[in-house]
Amino acid sequence: MKNSEALYIQIYQQLLREIREGSYEDKRLPTEKELTEQYFVSRITARKALDKLEADGVVVRFSGKGTFVRKNNGPLIGTAGRTGNAIPLIALVMGGYSASFGLDIMNGAIQAAEENGAHMIVKNAGNDQAREFQILNRLKASGVDGIIVQPAHGEIYSQWLINAVFDRYPTVMIDRTLQGIDVPFVGVDNEGLSEMAAGRMLALGHRNISLITMENEDTSTLRARMEGFKWAMNRHRIPVSTDLWLTGLARHMKGEEKNSGEAYDQYIQQIMRHIRQHPEITGFFCTEYLVSTLVYKAVTALGLRVPEDISIVGFDGPDETGGREYFAHVRQPQERMGRTAVEMIMTLVKGEKLDRPRRILDGLWVPGRSLAHPGARGSSLS
């Protein structure tokens, strides 16, 4: 073993096997000192192994008396792949989430885990690749049976996921995928949904459409949405004018800075400048809900109207009452994505093969109130 964390898990698993075999039915477990001598490890490592047994409800510890197997203890949590009667422990690691995207994935996953008799841990990596790597390592080392992960924005390579493939560790990617890494995946047809959304705008007569993104083009979902937009333009035989595009609003922001009020003000100012520079724009194609809201604020700050002067279409959004959502958008089946990912990871945890390791779910079009025929706005903006 290379580190103390791996060593304490090894000791924990050995003690767990011995407990299940009845070795400590009427006896106390070895003390920390005895474990250090038996396994040639530090006192801290031995303590962590006993602490984990206690945290899982397997043993009870009495000051001055020692550690004993809990009487009538139920099935263990975690280590489902190694003990037949364990409660599976799975994890969902989100790159990020909000009311418009992510929360419904989490709710669907949590409900599906409960229905499948599993416990679930949910972590937020904050779209930080280093933090994601650390979280994934800790979860795997702590005995989690399988992990569902939404890779961080901009991630094009993941050593952890590559290692998971070689180790055959149960792993499922959700929403975003990484090229060349053969990990089961559940998501949507981003190209198709993007083509649908852009096509609705083009069908109304819009020709000068600005594609706008928050992140750069490294994320698989973003690349796919941009391709879908191009397909829609080509299908309507309209040249793609990238001069009208505004990509990477947050390219100079890091971490939590991206979601600060000051950053949002900067994004809105960028969009306002872009509209002034390109008064011919009649519509914005937004690659996520947050961008739609920023565009709306920029447009109205300029004294223009949505949708009379500028239309907005995008991806996802909060489910408003009565189906009267303001922004026209394509919606991903988030709850079903979460449920499907859990069903897939549970199959892998059981040691079974997936009949379809790549699941692409259908989305739907939500008309909203932000899309209309091109307005007659002049070019008098200053």
Residues 111 and 62 in one domain: no
Residues 211 and 299 in one domain: yes
Alpha-carbon distance values, 224 to 14, 228, 244, 357 (Å): 47, 6, 19, 20
Residues 163 and 205 in one domain: no
- Determine the Cα–Cα distance for residues 272 and 298; give it in Å rounded to an integer: 5
- Residue 377 has a pLDDT of 56
Whether 71 has a pLDDT exceeding 90, the answer reads no
The CATH number covering residue 151 comes to: 3.40.50.2300
- pLDDT grade, residue 2 (50/70/90)? very low
Place of tokens 């002067």: 309
**DSSP states of 282-344 as a string?**
-EEEESSHHHHHHHHHHHHHTT--TTTT-EEEEE-----GGG--SSEEEE--HHHHHHHHHHH
- Domain-embedded: residue 370: no
- Domain-embedded: residue 218: yes
Strand partners, 381: none
345-374: pLDDT as tens digits: 999 999 999 999 999 999 999 999 999 999
- Determine the Cα–Cα distance for residues 295 and 301; give it in Å rounded to an integer: 10
Mean pLDDT of 85-110: 89
Percent of the chain scoring above 70 in pLDDT: 88
Whether 196 has a pLDDT exceeding 80, the answer reads yes
Mean pLDDT of 290-302: 96
Whether 5 has a pLDDT exceeding 60, the answer reads no
| Whole-structure pTM value | 0.74
Residues 184 and 110 in one domain: yes
Domain region containing 44: 4-69
325-351: pLDDT as tens digits: 799 999 999 999 999 999 999 999 999
Strand partners, 329: 314, 366
Residues 204 and 309 in one domain: yes
Residues 155 and 287 in one domain: no
Is the model more confident about 379 or about 371? 371
- Domain-embedded: residue 56: yes
Residues 35 and 63 in one domain: yes
- Domain-embedded: residue 340: yes
- Domain-embedded: residue 123: yes
Q: In total, how many domains does the chain have?
A: 3
Which residue type is seen at 310? I
Q: Which of 37, 39, 43, 32 is nearest to 11 (CA)?
A: 39
The CATH number covering residue 48 comes to: 1.10.10.10
CB contact at 8 A, 374 and 206: yes
- Domain-embedded: residue 369: no
- pLDDT grade, residue 84 (50/70/90)? very low
Residues 196 and 311 in one domain: yes
Residues 214 and 324 in one domain: yes
Helix (H) or strand (E) holding 364: strand 364-366
In degrees and rounded to multiples of 5, residue 359 shows phi and psi of -110, 120
Mean of the per-residue pLDDT values of the chain:
87
Percent of the chain scoring above 90 in pLDDT: 61
- Residue 251 has a pLDDT of 75
- Domain-embedded: residue 81: no
- Determine the Cα–Cα distance for residues 370 and 363; give it in Å rounded to an integer: 19
Residues 105 and 171 in one domain: yes
6-31: pLDDT as tens digits: 788 889 889 988 888 788 877 889 99
